[in-house]
Structure 1
Amino acid sequence: MGDTANNTENAPKKSFFKGVKSEFNKIIWPDKQTLAKQSAAVVAISVALGVVIAIVDIGVVYGIEQILKIG
């Protein structure tokens, strides 16, 4: 059982880096137009979500202030 652990420690590191390089070569990078569209979509959705969260926050704060005034 201890012999198998020593075999993995002595394994050549070059095979790992060759595997990483071969996997890296399989990546299909998006073109500039696709990248621009996806980036614009992410920014637009982030801004829209920020606005929605701000509106909900203002509503909750207003509601709590009204509840505290009543009491």
Structure 2
Amino acid sequence: MGETNTEKAPKTSWFTGLKAEFSKIIWPDKKSLIKQTTAVTVVSIILGLIIALIDAIIKYGVTDILVNL
């Protein structure tokens, strides 16, 4: 059978590891951030309106069905 390596990596401070991970992040530039934020906001508003419209149609449809029984 294959042997497994049971040696543990040297422990470093949690904050040191966190700092190392944060240094790997590629932050977006301002233009890209504005463009993406605008896209998310517009899509969220449009989807909210679509859901509200569908909800109103279903609400009035169910009300009509229940009133006419």
> Does TM, normalized by the shorter one, top 0.5?
yes
User: 4+ runs of 1 displaced by more than 4 Å?
Assistant: none
Written as runs of structure 1 = structure 2, the 5 A alignment for 1:1-71 is 15-71=13-69
The alignment yields a C-alpha RMSD, in angstroms, of: 1.4
2:8 is matched with none
Query: As a proportion of its length, which structure holds more helix?
Result: 1
Q: Tell me, which stretches of 5 or more residues in structure 1 are unaligned?
A: 1-12
TM-score, normalised via structure 1 length: 0.76
- State the AA in 2 paired with 1:61: K
Q: Tell me, which stretches of 5 or more residues in structure 2 are unaligned?
A: 1-10
TM-score, normalised via structure 2 length: 0.78
Count matched residues.
59
Give aligned-pair identity as a percent: 49
